[in-house]
Amino acid sequence: MIVIGFVVILVFLQVRSIFFPKPKQTPVPQNLSQPETEAPETSPIWSIEDIKNRPGGGESNRSEEKPVSLPEVYVKYPKEDTGNNIVESWEKVSPEEKAKVNEQLDKKIEEAKEELRVKPDSKNAKHILFISETMKKLCKSNFDYRLLESVPEDEGGLKKKGK
Amino acid sequence: MAIGNRKGVVIILVLALAATFLLIITALINLSCSEIIQAKNRNNSIQSYYVAVAGAERMYVRLKNIQATGGTITWPVNPSNLNNVALQIGGSTVGTFTVTSNLTGQTDEFAIISTGTANGRSSTVTVKYGYTDTYTNGVPIGSMGAMNFAGNKWWFLTSRVYADGPIESASNITPSTSHPNDSPYVQFNGDVTPNKSDLSNPSYWYKYDSATSSWSAKQVYDTNGNGQHLTDTTNKGYVDISDAGGDVDKIAIFQADDINSDGRIDTKDAFVSYYTVELNSQYNLGINKGGPNYYSGDHTFGPYNVPTGTSVIFVDGDANIIFNAQKWWGNKADLTVVSTSDITIVQPVNGADDRTTTIAYGDTITGGLNLGDLADVDGNLNMYSNGNFTAILGGNTNGSIMVGGITNVNTGLPSFLFNRDINQGTDDWSNPAKMPRGLPPGYPQVSKVFVIKAENFSTSGYKPRWQWR
């Protein structure tokens, strides 16, 4: 009788657990100020402003090391400050696409020159020619734009007086 | 008790046997029931997940309604009637959900958190969305004249035009919708409104009174604002010396109002006066004639040409800009270039914390390559052109474009490098610190109180992120 009693109790408990499961613990509300994908609070957190304000990191302390080319800008400064890395993006472009860019720029240059032959005062053609020729130079040099060449020598640049 | 009485052994043996039997029975029952239990738990979990999703959808609709009615949102959104809501199907309750929404701490991102409970099992669904809040900015792209957008397509290769709206013109817009039927080469996101009657070109006939620190409208042709001016007697659209009729006093008035000495008084005089006299007088910008930030004749600018800290330059001629007229790294750059003639920008660039504004009395023309999903202009580039606006080749900009004349946006050969993406500005102009400097009075603006970012509409669209636990 004792054994039968035990078995009945056991079966009753099992059946209850099947049809009336113990409620799962209520989930703790998510801390939205620190999303799940973010690093834990102990991770170093920094901002551009912090970096600028650090001793030795601000603009005024950097005046002696002016970047002379665009690629150097992307190396020296954080992406948030420089924007998309044009040099890196251009390097990733396939030779076929680069050829297409050249073809397009040549076409624009030719069209603009043709228009200027007919209408020498066409400012629109002049501007398109300027954009297309400048882009062609930039692409040819892999966007290795020399930043100081348009800046006069007495202002710290590379432009000779009289040029 | 007699020694050797072993009757108690029977009880011990029976209990031991019973215990062993019990263990065996327990093990057998557990084995037979475990699969049933697991299936039941799984069903309940899935059921609670769908209940939670229903809660998330309910909150999303609520937020969308706030957006549609132009309401404001106070975070966190925790309405009592979305707390412990019974979800019913066919009259029977399948579970309950509680849903809230709050900012995540990431820039322009909020999350909906919904917990569903079914048969004692709970699941929490978190969905994260991008948004813009209390947004005021210039019209993303507006034009008094006709607007033409032309992408390029060859087989499956495209160079597309993508433009965030509202797109507004006082004349025609071609194509008038995403063209054709959301084809990949001209895409608009938002309202496209041609023939908009209340769109107007900004005016420069304004005077700053330094005594009262206030602005007031000038009479047209009264460039110096002294109350004396000639009238356009023959409806030419400007005033010239003939309108003085040979009167010496009137000739003197004419000469005083012809501020740029080009022989006629027109909106160009108002433009020059607005910047070099009135605005300069208010902010001491050094853009008065002969001032340190006044450039005579045509100029080509690169990143080091305008010193850091300069906020506005005035160019009496064409301004050609390669990348940017000021270095944009190292410091927050916020430069406005004003030109009495045309502005040409080759491959415009700046960083996320920067702002570039160009104001041309003549035309504006820009072109470059679209080098990646991230904008080459990561900050904002606002372009106002009293004349025409032309975009050639490719590029990716954020900001406002307003044009007094005609707008032409073309691409190049079918290649992603010639995609032209014109995205909304990211600055909130209701914050004076984020308002571009020097925009003319009456520059058209748009305001949106709360807007959930478009979902994955394009590479620049926002992708909601779902998490379940």
Contact status of B466 with chain A (Cβ, < 8 Å): no
The full set of domain ranges for chain A reads: 63-153
Q: Does B375 touch chain A (CB under 8 A)?
A: yes
Position B459 scores a pLDDT of 59
Model confidence over B241-271: pLDDT tens digits?
A: 999 999 999 999 999 999 999 999 999 999 9
Res B120 pLDDT > 80: yes
Chain A residue with the nearest C-alpha to that of B354: A81
Q: How many helices (H) and strands (E) does chain B have?
A: 4, 33
CB–CB of A147 and B320 under 8 A?
A: no
Residue A12, exposed/middle/buried by CB under 10 A (0-12, 13-18, 19+)?
exposed
Residue with more model confidence, B28 or B306? B306
Structure tokens at B6: 């072993």
DSSP class of A150:
G
- The alpha-carbon gap from B376 to the nearest alpha carbon of chain A, in Å, equals 5
Q: In sequence order, what are the beta bridge partners of B397?
A: B422
Distance from C-alpha of B457 to C-alpha of B460, rounded to nearest angstrom: 7
Chain B CB within 8 Å of residue A148 CB: yes
CA distance A35 to chain B (A): 6
A136: tokens are 């062609």
Q: Which of A104, A109, A122, A142 to probe by mutation at the B interface, max B CB count within 10 Å?
A: A104
Residue identified by tokens 């079914």 is B118
The percentage of residues in chain B with a pLDDT greater than 70, rounded to a whole number, is 94
Which of A150-154, B55-59, B129-133, B292-296 comes out lowest in average pLDDT?
Answer: A150-154
- The residues, any chain, with a CB within 8 Å of residue B105's CB and separated by 6 or more, are A32, A33, A34, A35, A38
When pLDDT is cut at 50, 70 and 90, the band that residue B212 belongs to is very high
Q: Is the pLDDT of residue B80 over 60?
A: yes
Whether pLDDT at B141 is above 90? yes
B187 has a pLDDT exceeding 80: yes
d(CA A21, nearest CA chain B) in Å: 7
What confidence category does residue A16 fall into, taking pLDDT thresholds of 50, 70 and 90? Answer: low
- Band (B404; pLDDT cuts 50, 70, 90): very high
pLDDT at B184: 66
Q: Which residue of B has its CA nearest to A73?
A: B329
State whether B367 and A145 contact (CB < 8 Å): no
Half-sphere exposure of B266 (CA within 13 A, CB side): 12
**Is A154 a residue whose pLDDT tops 80?**
no
Model confidence pLDDT, tens digit, residues A25-73: 443 333 333 333 333 332 222 233 333 333 333 344 344 577 888 888 8
Lowest mean pLDDT among B52-61, B68-77, B430-439, B459-468: B459-468
DSSP assigned state of A23: P
pLDDT score for B180: 60
Closest CA to B291 of B270, B305, B308, B275: B275
Note the pLDDT of residue B469. Answer: 72
Looking up tokens 């039927």 gives B181
Average pLDDT over residues B47-64: 93
- Claim: this prediction has a pTM higher than 0.90: no
What pLDDT, on the 0 to 100 scale, is given for residue B224? Answer: 93
Q: Tell me the three state secondary structure of residue B218.
A: coil
Is residue B378 within 8 A of residue A83, CB to CB? The reply is: yes
The beta-strand segments (E) located in B144-222 are 147-150, 152-154, 157-159, 161-164, 167-169, 173-174, 186-189, 192-193, 206-209, 214-217
pLDDT of residue A3: 60
Q: Which residue has the higher pLDDT, B438 or B66?
A: B438
pLDDT at B437 over 50: yes
pLDDT at residue B157, rounded to an integer = 83
Q: What is the DSSP string of B90-156?
A: TTEEEEEEEEEEEE-SSTTEEEEEEEEEETTEEEEEEEEEEEEEEEEEE-SEEESS-EEEE-EEETT
Q: What pLDDT, on the 0 to 100 scale, is given for residue B367?
A: 94
Contacting B residues, span 102-161, partner chain A, CB-CB under 8 Å = 102-106, 111, 113, 115, 119-122, 124, 126, 128
Nearest CA in chain A to B37: A18
Interface test with A, best of B13, B323, B380 (most A CBs within 10 A): B323
β-bridge mates for residue B364, sequence order: B343, B389
Give the span between the Cα atoms of B358 and B319, in whole angstroms. 10
For residue A135, the one-letter residue type is M
Residues B276-292, mean pLDDT to the nearest whole number: 94
What is the value of ipTM here, to two decimals? Answer: 0.70
Work out the pLDDT band at B135, boundaries 50, 70, 90: confident
pLDDT mean over A11-20:
58
Tokens representing A139 are 């692409």
Report the C-alpha gap between B333 and B377 in whole angstroms: 12
Chain A nearest C-alpha distance from B214 (Å): 35
Phi, psi of A162 (to 5 degrees): 90, -10
- A22-81 residues touching B, CB cutoff 8 A: 22-24, 26-27, 29-30, 32-36, 38, 48, 52, 59, 62, 66-67, 70, 73, 76-77, 79-81
Residue A115 token pair: 């228009």
Measured between beta carbons, the chain A residues lying within 8 angstroms of B358 are none
What pLDDT was estimated at residue A60?
41
The mean per-residue pLDDT over the stretch A124-150 comes to: 89
Q: Do A131 and B367 touch (CB under 8 A)?
A: yes
Q: Please say if the pLDDT value at position B225 is more than 60.
A: yes
- Cis before B175? omega within 30: yes
Using alpha carbons, select from B331, B320, B321 the residue that is nearest to residue B355: B331
The residues pairing with B215 across neighbouring beta strands, listed in sequence order, are: B208
User: Across B347-444, where does the E strand assignment appear?
Assistant: 355-360, 364-368, 380-385, 389-393, 395-398, 401-403, 407-410, 420-423
Tokens of residue B202, six digits: 């900004």
Question: In chain A, pLDDT over 90 holds for what percent of residues?
Answer: 27
Q: What is the pLDDT of residue B74?
A: 74
**Contacts of residue B128 in chain A, CB cutoff 8 Å?**
35
Inter-chain residue contact A134 with B327, CB threshold 8 Å: no
Q: At what angle do helices A2-19 and B8-68 cross, to 10 degrees?
A: 10
Q: Which two three-digit tokens encode residue A83? A: 């924007």
Report the C-alpha gap between B138 and B446 in whole angstroms: 6
Chain mean pLDDT for chain B: 88
Contacts 24+ apart (CB under 8 A), B71-75: B71/B449, B71/B450, B72/B134, B72/B449, B72/B450, B73/B133, B73/B449, B73/B450, B75/B101, B75/B102, B75/B103, B75/B110
Lowest pLDDT segment from A137-146, A154-163, B331-340: A154-163
Q: Do B111 and A127 touch (CB under 8 A)?
A: no
pLDDT of B131 reads 85
Percent pLDDT > 90 in chain B is 55
